[in-house]
Amino acid sequence: MTSEAFDLFVIGAGSGGVRAARMAAQRGARVAVADDKPLGGTCVNLGCIPKKLYSFAAHYAEAFEEAHGYGWSASTPVLDWAQLKANRAREISRLNGIYESLLDGAGVQVLRGRARVVGPGEVEIAGQRIRARHILVATGGHPVVPPVSGAELAITSNEIFDLPTFPQHLLVVGGGYIACEFASIFRGLGAQVTQLYRGTQVLRGFDADISAFVADEMRKKGIDLRTGSDVEGIARDAATGRLRVALRDGSVQLADQVLYATGRVPNTRGLGLAEAGVALAPNGAVLVDDQYATNVAGLHAVGDVIDRIHLTPVALAEAMALVDHLFGAKQRAVDYAMIPTAVFTHPSVGAVGLTEAQARAQGRAVRIFRSEFKALKHTLSGNTERTLMKLVVDADTDRVVGLHMVGADAGETIQGFAVALKAGATKAVFDATIGIHPTAAEEFVTMREPVA
């Protein structure tokens, strides 16, 4: 049977879905949201938040060691893996409750279960059909493991947070930001880490200087980072219970866990989209126009499921633009230029705007400013970590079109500069800005001589 109708039915209660549901309800729309997983989606449960919490945890052993340079004496710290997991789980549960309260407060009806599209303006969940004037697919994505022999023995970022025992040796496969982050995190927590990437340099898509620099810093931290390397197969060693990882160069690595972080694909299987005639990309991504509408009237999609930019703030912005288009003034649009991003490696990466290669590929004449140094903190800490900062300037307009950093709290630094780049700041404006001394960030406004 078919139940009451809604103005908006959202499939997926992640960042984009929850934001769209709340904002639409606050504008007077009748809204329902359905999900068969904890509220908050990947970011809250299996991504941004727990990953950042573990990244914080991973800095403490190094911080205890650095404290010696500042006159502190302390015994060697010991990680309580079970306690870390329990504390993280408690915080995530708290956030799940907040999401539920926000939806309830906005008057959104929350349905627990997997919903699917069954016809024009109609969804089905738990055997019940529901009519909706608009349907929004905001189901995000999920990690995938390539079809190598023994792939079932590997884990993904979905399982990494709750491993029963802490892996003394973690082998990470992949060279993207997720792979590099978890390699850094588990090395910081005390694991021996081997990272394999079949390409020539990790963090493809970031500025080449940044990628090379952070790779060197990761190696200095003790990560056995190998490029041009890939897995042939994985098998369980009967005698030790450990994993034997055969590499394509003929060598074998032993590890307690193998983490695959080689990509994510949109969550569209089982949603009835293809059957409803919705156009999908080869990887399953939902194809949408500038207003996030599919080729099927009344059906829309935002977030990772459309496979544009996989960032939580982007999904939130897309959700706001869609709600404005459906239930508002239809004036809001998402500008995908100058979106800042961070990678929580150790040290972290922050970037906004064009890489040097991208700027040159656009035919721009560019001036490059670059500075590498040891942060003041490490003049006493004994840590050999270094910081890299880089500006890409359009020579014809003097506009700063790219800003990149490797160093402590890079994301915090880049967020502020992203506002300046979004506003069209020129190098002359940077030069006229007085820095805060002594900080690392002041280096961005004191670089005077181009290196290229």
Find all residues with CB under 8 Å of 401, minimum gap 6, and list them: 353, 354, 359, 364, 366, 392, 393, 394, 421
346 included as an active-site residue = no
The DSSP code sequence of 153-208 is: G-B-TTTGGG-SS--SEEEEE--SHHHHHHHHHHHHTT-EEEEEESSSSSSBTB-H
Q: Which of 276, 274, 294, 275 is CA-nearest to residue 284? A: 274
Q: Which residues pair with 11 in a beta bridge?
A: 34, 137
3-state secondary structure of 390: strand
The edge-to-edge listing of strands for the beta sheet with 348-353 is: 341-343, 348-353, 400-407, 387-394, 366-373
Q: Which of 203, 179, 162 is CA-nearest to residue 259? A: 179
**Calpha distance 296→292 (Å, rounded):** 11
**In 68-169, which residue ranges form alpha helices assigned H by DSSP?**
81-106
Choose, from 68, 142, 310, 437, the residue flagged as catalytic: 437
Q: Cβ distance 13 to 98 under 8 Å?
A: no
302's tokens: 């935002």
Q: Which of 3, 276, 54 is CA-nearest to residue 170? A: 54
Active-site amino acid positions? 437
